[in-house]
Structures are given as structure tokens and as C-alpha cells.
Structure 1
């Protein structure tokens, strides 16, 4: 690998890659097979209704293939999908940054974004189609990347301030700059 922006050993990098890959696999599996499973058949109210029933009193309350947990408790499902998606996204973000100096950076980036897209599509197929669950899902997927961008900006800003402090306040920097521009002959005449 070219440069190591995190100054970690190769052994530590390999360990982190194994752990994050395991987290990605587990969270992806948990997302497509959520706790309590998914409905095997459409569920109607009243219970004696079916898809073939033309009675207007029948209401479909659950679609086949959607999360049972969401039907039982929207709050618990929301917490589960947020935390699971956040762990998945943080792990894929970590993998990307660990492979930053790799010669296959572009391919890695494409793979990670495609994996995030597949995760969103899979969860979208299992979760009920509500704006709230989509907002939770997209927010959790984007959060680690947004935090990384802000951390990078903050770090650059901190480094810039440290460099400015070593040179002094801007007023002193201007005075030093003016002093350095004076011709040496004038300074020598004063002596």
C-alpha cells in the first residue's frame, strides 16, 4: 500500500478489515431477515378474508415478505433498522478508509457504494413502505460518511490554526512580511 494516513501497522489493518467484514456480513443478513422474520402470506382483517375475497370489509394489514416486527412494534423496528444500518454503514466506511492507499481504490469505492445500494434495496423490500422508515434507513446509511467529512474538515481547520499560532497573530505576520520586503540597504544605513 502506498501511504498510510492512519499510521497503523499492517497487522492491525488486517485485523480491522476482518472485523469490519464480519460486521458487514452480519448486519446485511440481519437486515434481510429481521427479528421475528417476515410475513409468509398476506394478512387480512378479519382473519377469514383472502386475496380472492371481493368483500369490501376486508383489509390487508400485512404484505407477504414484510417485517413482522414492524407490524408488532414500529418503535422497536425503527430502532433495530437504524442501529443495524448505522453499524453496516460504519463498517463499509471503515473498510473504504482502511483501503485508501490501495492501488484498487476506485474499484473498492464502487464496490462499497454498490453494497450500500444493495443493502438499501434489500431493506426496502423487507420493510413497509413508509416515509419514516425510509428516512431512518437513509439517515443511518449516510451518517458515518457525513461524520467522516466533518471530522476531516475539523482536523484540517485545527492544523491550519496550529500553523497560524506558531507564526503569531495576523498583525504580527503582516509586520514580519513588511520587514522582510524592505531593502537591506535601508536597514544597513540605520546601523
Structure 2
């Protein structure tokens, strides 16, 4: 007789009856804080490290990985997108928390630090920085467009 095996994924699925929104928010805060920390660190300390001396015309303090321009550019865009989405989710989850304005200031300061750090370690010829900056704001623009669409839909449906 065969024993019925449970799907192990079911143990980790969201359970509305046993889990509260507060628990879920706390879990999401932990997850997205970890994502923000890892992506921040990867931007400040790029894979492979930075050049230590000016041997062969290399600028000390710039990313070694930047010598592989396409791969480094892909890394920088993906890392910046993950960092930006993590910040967006964190700021959304702490909305109306005590000191949420202070959290906004601290989080935006961290984003500015991230941008200045990647500018410092990336050789100018390796990356088109306007695309990196656009990547940083894309999640916020998408969220604003979704919010505006929802507001318009609610207004349109309430007039019917």
C-alpha cells in the first residue's frame, strides 16, 4: 500500500487562518532588508574587488570586473534594480510606522550612498550612468503608474 506523500511546498505556503498580516509584514521586512543589504554591499564591493595600484594604466579603487564591460554592466543594472525594488518594498511596508519620515530620509540617504559608491568604483567608460540611474527609479515609477491606474479605475467605476 502506497503512502500518500504531502507536497513539501505546502508547509511553506501562506496560511490565512494561522498567519496574521503583521507576521507577514515582519517576514517581508526581514527578506527585503536582506536583499537591500546584499545588493548594497555588492554595489560598494563589486565582484572581484577593485584595482589596488595603477599598474598598466588602471585606476586604483575601480572595479576589476568592469574590465568585462558587458557583464559588469549587466551586473550593475540587475543589482541596482534589485536594490531599488527592495527599498520600495521596505518603504511601502513601513508606511505610517512611527518615525516613517525618518525611515524615508535614512533609506533615501542609503540609496544616494549606493549611487555615489558605484560611481566611485566604476570607470566612466565602462557604464552609461544614465541607464543605472533610470534603473534606480524604475520601480518607483512603475508603482506610481499602478497607483494612478487604480485611482482612475476606482473613479471610473464609481461614476457608473
TM-score (norm 1): 0.70
Match status 1:116 vs 2:111: yes
Shift of 1:93: 0.9
Supply the distance in 2 between the matched residues of 1:116 and 1:102 (Cα, whole angstroms): 20
What are structure 2's unaligned runs of at least 5 residues?
Answer: 1-19
Match status 1:67 vs 2:63: yes
Match status 1:128 vs 2:123: yes
Match of 1:23 in 2: 35
Residues 70-119 of structure 1 show CA distances to partners (whole Å, capped at 9, x for unaligned) of 11x21111110000011011101111010112121211111111010010
Match status 1:160 vs 2:160: no
Q: CA RMSD in A?
A: 1.5
Where 2:124 maps in the other structure, the secondary structure is: coil
Shift of 1:135: 1.3
Match of 1:76 in 2: 71
Higher Rg of the two aligned structures = 1
Where 1:41 maps in the other structure, the secondary structure is: coil
Supply the distance in 2 between the matched residues of 1:65 and 1:132 (Cα, whole angstroms): 16
Does the Cα contact within 8 Å between 2:29 and 2:90 map onto a contact in 1?
yes
- When structure 1 is superposed on structure 2, of 134-143 and 81-90 the one drifting more is 134-143
Does the Cα contact within 8 Å between 1:78 and 1:136 map onto a contact in 2?
no
Supply the distance in 2 between the matched residues of 1:25 and 1:67 (Cα, whole angstroms): 19
What are structure 1's unaligned runs of at least 5 residues?
Answer: 1-7, 45-59, 166-191
Aligned residues: 141
Does the Cα contact within 8 Å between 1:127 and 1:133 map onto a contact in 2?
no
TM-score (norm 2): 0.83
Supply the distance in 2 between the matched residues of 1:39 and 1:113 (Cα, whole angstroms): 29
Query: Which consecutive segments of 4 or more residues in structure 1 shift more than 4 A?
Result: none
Where 1:66 maps in the other structure, the secondary structure is: coil
Supply the distance in 2 between the matched residues of 1:158 and 1:132 (Cα, whole angstroms): 40
